[in-house]
């Protein structure tokens, strides 16, 4: 009756079957599928709220809100009952495959939503089916694996055999797959091995402490067989889809920001072996050899004059003892805290003559905070672990991709008014902004309004107060207050988020104290204790 929707419905179910064959966390026996894998394959926006255990998926004008362990879904504001509830399994959000097909079918007609999902029968060794209809090259079903699909209407089911039309160009099924990512650490370097199912092409770029590897000719699937190379020689690894969700982009953040990583390739199967030098490895360059073997005599009259650098102030002797508090509820152990060291790279932040730039102090406090949080039983993720430039979009991508529970952006204050001192904490508020509340669809107004409705800003305020209290108590400094402002670093962060100004770099006393590494550690431990206070102050409704 709705034959015009069949090709796109078949395409969606074809994706589900291909994910099954590629072992992307699908359980055939109970009909569950990884929501993230399905969303990425279909170009569906995916947002996960860990504290509320709510998953929001958007495509076009369709918004679906799912809650773990609840059979009630909200589709465009209306309640829909699921046959089975979503659940968390091995760290992934698993949703009934029939529900995803039901919500994101090609047609927006109400009666299509009520049509039962087709039953998929995968035959191990079927005879070559006779083609019923030859698909056009631009048809979505042209790239699907041949399967037998039996719809389940009131009439007796009629099997439909789908045979892809021959393509002169490479199809998705012909593309290589990254089947494994392994690593091993040697005495002076770490080796990362990427193993593909076929040949690929790649290009690499090493700039500002970031080693980016762009791989073309492979599918955008993250391997299930992988180890985590982050450790002594690699600070962080991000894996993202390439342009138009084709290929892969691997972004390595090596701790040795001078030595260029090397690549070896091996065939049968195709493998890439990338070597990252240890941070203390000696790097010999042509420039250093030239200086060592030749003496250059410069003409003082022609030598350009460089401006004199201000003498750096010495760090004061500071010894502030801050003991790490303990979690009262073990259920909160292992929660992920995203730490953002403000500024970085060409963005130096506030500068004061004779003192380190704000970006440098922010990063040192962030590293100490990560260590303190881990001692308290949390998992810590840094948006940057080196002096690199990062846009707000890049920071957002890290925050929302890691599915953290809290977000802390570290900054320092600075002013030409020497009387200003103390710490300040901020959470996001829409006060002072004007957005048309009637915006719909995918307009900026609609996206902003949806974010305002879905985000727990009250938890951000609660965290900001706890951090301010701890900083004032442990550091014996003044408080410049806890405020709600529409700050850009906190905009569109999907989890409770705060921005912390740990002190005034321009102040005669605090500015000098921030040079001291012991003082920075005390700042970090104070914030870590505030995170413990935050979770100790949460009551879980049974």
Judged on CB neighbours under 10 Å (0-12, 13-18, 19+), 139 is middle
Q: Which of 427, 426, 421, 425 is nearest to 503 (CA)?
A: 421
Query: Can you tell me the mean pLDDT for 338-359?
Result: 93
Lowest mean pLDDT among 79-88, 297-306, 431-440, 498-507: 297-306
For 123-207, where are the E strands, in sequence order?
A: 148-150, 160-161, 178-185, 189-196, 201-207
* Residue entry with tokens 């007609």: 109
Q: What is residue 68's three-state secondary structure?
A: coil
Query: Can you tell me the mean pLDDT for 379-399?
Result: 90
Task: Select, from the ranges 18-32, 305-319, 392-406, the one with the highest average predicted confidence (pLDDT).
Answer: 392-406
Is the pLDDT confidence value at 41 over 50? yes
CA atoms within 13 A on the CB side of 504: 19
As a CATH number, domain 3-161 is: 3.30.457.10
pTM: 0.48
Is the pLDDT confidence value at 453 over 80? no
Lowest mean pLDDT among 17-31, 112-126, 150-164, 360-374: 112-126
pLDDT of residue 298: 41
Listing DSSP states for 349-409 in one string gives -S--TTS--HHHHHHHHHHHHHHHHHHTT-EEEES-SSS----HHHHHHHHHHHT-SEEEE
Geometric angle at alpha carbon 246, from 242 and 252, rounded to 5° = 30
Task: Select, from the ranges 74-78, 251-255, 428-432, 433-437, the one with the highest average predicted confidence (pLDDT).
Answer: 251-255
Cα–Cα distance for residue pair 278/259, rounded to 1 Å: 9
pLDDT of residue 312: 86
pLDDT of residue 27: 39
* Residue entry with tokens 């925050």: 399
Split at pLDDT 50, 70, 90, the class of 523 is: very high
Q: What H or E segment, with its residue span, contains residue 411?
A: strand 406-413
Is the pLDDT confidence value at 137 over 70? no
Check if CATH label 3.40.630.40 holds for domain 330-536.
yes
Number of neighbouring beta carbons within 10 Å of residue 239: 17
Q: Are 412 and 361 in contact (CB under 8 A)?
A: yes
Task: Select, from the ranges 149-153, 356-360, 488-492, the one with the highest average predicted confidence (pLDDT).
Answer: 356-360
Extract the tokens encoding 438: 């009637």
Separation of first and last alpha carbons in the chain: 47
Q: Are 96 and 29 in contact (CB under 8 A)?
A: no
pLDDT of residue 306: 53
Is the pLDDT confidence value at 19 over 70? no
Q: Are 104 and 42 in contact (CB under 8 A)?
A: yes
CATH class of 174-277: mainly beta
Is the pLDDT confidence value at 128 over 60? no
> Between β-strands 406-413 and 497-504, what pairing exists: parallel, antiparallel or unpaired?
parallel
Cα–Cα distance for residue pair 87/72, rounded to 1 Å: 13
Domain ranges of the chain: 3-161, 174-277, 330-536
Query: Can you tell me the mean pLDDT for 55-59?
Result: 82
C-alpha pair distances (Å), 509 with each of 61, 99, 203, 352, 515: 55, 60, 50, 13, 10
Is the pLDDT confidence value at 169 over 60? no
pLDDT of residue 43: 72
Split at pLDDT 50, 70, 90, the class of 541 is: low
Split at pLDDT 50, 70, 90, the class of 451 is: confident
Judged on CB neighbours under 10 Å (0-12, 13-18, 19+), 177 is middle
Q: Are 89 and 26 in contact (CB under 8 A)?
A: no
């Amino acid at each position: 009756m709705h034959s015009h929707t069949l090709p796109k419905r078949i395409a969606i179910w074809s994706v589900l079957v291909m994910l099954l064959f590629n072992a992307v966390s699908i359980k055939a026996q109970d009909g569950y599928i990884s929501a993230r894998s399905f969303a990425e394959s279909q170009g569906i926006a995916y947002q996960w709220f860990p504290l509320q255990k709510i998953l929001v998926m958007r495509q076009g004008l369709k918004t679906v809100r799912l809650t773990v362990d609840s059979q009630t879904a909200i589709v465009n504001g209306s309640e829909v009952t699921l046959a089975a509830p979503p659940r968390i399994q091995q760290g992934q959000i698993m949703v009934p495959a029939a529900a995803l097909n039901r919500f994101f079918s090609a047609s927006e007609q109400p009666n299509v939503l009520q049509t039962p999902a087709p039953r998929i029968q995968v035959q191990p060794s079927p005879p070559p089916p006779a083609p019923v209809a030859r698909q056009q090259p631009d048809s979505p079903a042209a790239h699907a694996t041949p399967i037998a699909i039996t719809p389940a209407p009131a009439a007796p089911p009629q099997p439909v055999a789908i045979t892809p039309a021959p393509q002169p160009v490479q199809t998705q099924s012909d593309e290589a797959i990254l089947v494994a990512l392994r690593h091993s650490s040697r005495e002076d370097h770490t080796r990362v091995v990427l193993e593909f199912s076929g040949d690929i092409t790649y290009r690499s770029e090493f700039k500002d402490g970031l080693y980016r590897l762009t791989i073309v000719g492979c599918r955008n699937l993250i391997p299930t067989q992988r180890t985590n190379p982050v450790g002594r020689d690699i600070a962080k690894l991000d894996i993202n889809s390439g342009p138009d969700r084709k290929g892969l982009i691997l972004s390595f953040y090596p701790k040795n920001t001078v030595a260029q990583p090397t690549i070896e390739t091996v065939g049968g199967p195709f493998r890439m072996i990338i070597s990252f030098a240890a941070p203390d490895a000696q790097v010999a360059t042509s420039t250093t050899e030239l200086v060592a073997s030749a003496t250059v005599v410069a003409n003082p009259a022609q030598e350009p004059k460089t401006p004199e650098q201000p003498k750096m102030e010495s760090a004061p002797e500071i010894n502030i003892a801050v003991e790490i508090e303990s979690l009262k509820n073990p259920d909160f152990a292992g929660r992920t805290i995203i730490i953002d060291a403000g500024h970085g790279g060409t963005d130096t932040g506030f500068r004061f003559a004779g003192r380190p730039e704000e970006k440098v102090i922010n990063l040192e406090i962030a590293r100490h905070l990560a260590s303190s949080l881990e001692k308290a039983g949390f998992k810590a993720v840094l948006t940057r672990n080196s002096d690199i430039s990062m846009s707000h979009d890049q920071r957002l991508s890290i925050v929302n991709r890691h599915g953290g529970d809290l977000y802390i952006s570290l900054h320092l204050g600075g002013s030409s008014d020497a009387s200003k001192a103390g710490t300040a904490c901020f959470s996001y508020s829409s006060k002072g902004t004007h957005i048309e509340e009637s915006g719909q669809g995918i307009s900026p107004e609609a996206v902003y309004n949806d974010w305002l409705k879905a985000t727990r800003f009250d938890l951000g305020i609660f965290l900001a107060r706890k951090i301010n209290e701890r900083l004032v108590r442990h550091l014996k400094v003044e408080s410049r207050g806890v405020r709600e402002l529409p700050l850009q670093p906190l905009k569109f962060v999907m989890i409770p988020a705060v921005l912390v100004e740990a002190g005034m770099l321009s102040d005669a006393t605090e500015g000098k104290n921030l040079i001291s590494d012991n003082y920075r550690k005390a700042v970090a431990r104070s914030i870590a204790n505030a995170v413990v206070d935050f979770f100790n102050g949460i009551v879980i409704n049974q």
